[in-house]
Structure 1
Amino acid sequence: MQTATPDRLDMETAVRLLRNGDVVCYPTETFFAVGCSAFDVFAIERVFQAKKRSGSMPLPVIIGSREQLGMLTDVNSGTVNRLADAFWPGSLSILVTASAAVPAILTGETGRVAVRLSPHPMARELCLAAGVPLVSTSANISGHPATTQAGGLDPRLVAGTGGVLDMPPAPQGGKASTLVEITGPETVRIVRQGPVTEEALLAAGFRIMP
């Protein structure tokens, strides 16, 4: 366990901040993320403010276990479950119908939320310890590059958070997660290309819609 400093948090402190409605930066499989409870409207607004991002844009979410998916959606989709069986934990985000508990600001008023079970062990542990799915958007000022190093975080962004959880393994960079939407039984449309390729989806038995 790390020792907390003014900007550097240990896991226990990061969890306490999240439970108290604060915002933290934390590592994911690709880049550092900034996030908060997926159900806290005021904390979500702070994420937008820290990133200087338009509040009309939806924010993605990570979960720490398959069980936490039920906190975000009331729809028990067989196709979602089969995608999760094939690719989670991993860099596949799935658009699901948001439950009434999910604030509209998180979905950009679309009624849907992009969720993935992150392969990063500390990101998953943070979700589980906080007891909620977490907003997981890249920890950068909008229009600026994301970073794989805590030392590369923009001080202006960090100033809008409770601090930084910097625990190994370090983010590896690369493409953002593949994003898919369900268009029918065993059928998806790729909204954003990423590490999970069309070929991998086809090999797992899914049909791809243009």
Structure 2
Amino acid sequence: MASKLHIDRAARTVLAGGIVAYPTEAVYGLGCLPFEHDAVRRLIALKQRSRRKGFVLIAAELGQLDDIVILPERPLRDEILASWPGPVTWSLPARSRMPDWLTGGRETVAVRVTRHPLASLLCRRAGHALVSTSANLSGRAPLRSVLQVRREFGALVDYVLPGALGDLTRPTVIRDGRTGATLRA
């Protein structure tokens, strides 16, 4: 596991408006503060991805999502809460203040309370949910190691948090929080 110094440095980097690469449940992710428009714009350019795609946000705990999404009523609410912390991402109705650069212009935003120890600790130390997108150029395979991230992005990423990936072999499942339907298996 990464040392406290590594995690603190990664948290300071995102709090200063930077982009970090960090291990997640299946692949290395790229992240920044979601409401830091310059950082998100930089991330979109770095990945060479469409602004219309929107982003997944990860959190260490449900409270970090309070200002971001609206949870549905029961019974779907119970299903969502039972899946967290864990490797299920839910597309939920976005709060009115959510900018298009996060939602891709949709009324929803994809969120997850992560169980990955380093990703969760990074969110805790930063005190915020974070953008979490796979570390890769758009359309290419996600990267799965520090070395791959450094080769692909070099100094374009402000900090790379070393650590082990989780035990998934594919990115997390995404489900619709309004219907329960699977959007990405």
TM-score of the superposition, structure 2-length normalised?
0.90
Q: Which has the larger radius of gyration?
A: 1
In structure 1, what is the Cα distance between the partners aligned to 2:144 and 2:66?
30
C-alpha contact 1:149 1:171 (8 A) present in aligned 2: no
Residue number in structure 2 paired with 1:144: 140
What's the offset of the Cα at 1:32? 0.3
RMSD: 1.9
Which protein has the bigger helix share? 2
Equivalent pairs, count: 183
**Residue 177 (structure 2) pairs with residue 182 (structure 1):** yes
The one-letter amino acid of 1:163's match is: Y
1:101–1:127 CA distance, 2 compared to 1 (3 A): farther
Residue number in structure 2 paired with 1:40: 36
The one-letter amino acid of 1:190's match is: T
**Residue 69 (structure 2) pairs with residue 77 (structure 1):** no
Residue number in structure 2 paired with 1:191: 183
1:3–1:176 CA distance, 2 compared to 1 (3 A): closer
What's the offset of the Cα at 1:126? 0.6
In structure 2, what is the Cα distance between the partners aligned to 1:175 and 1:98?
26
Percent identical pairs in the alignment equals 29
C-alpha contact 2:72 2:177 (8 A) present in aligned 1: no
Any unmatched runs of 5+ in structure 1?
A: 5-9, 194-210
TM-score of the superposition, structure 1-length normalised?
0.80
Q: Which of structures 1 and 2 has the larger relative contact order (alpha carbons within 8 angstroms, sep 6+)?
A: 2
What's the offset of the Cα at 1:173? 4.6
Residue number in structure 2 paired with 1:26: 22
Residue number in structure 1 paired with 2:50: 54
Secondary structure of 1:132's counterpart equals coil
Any unmatched runs of 5+ in structure 2?
A: none
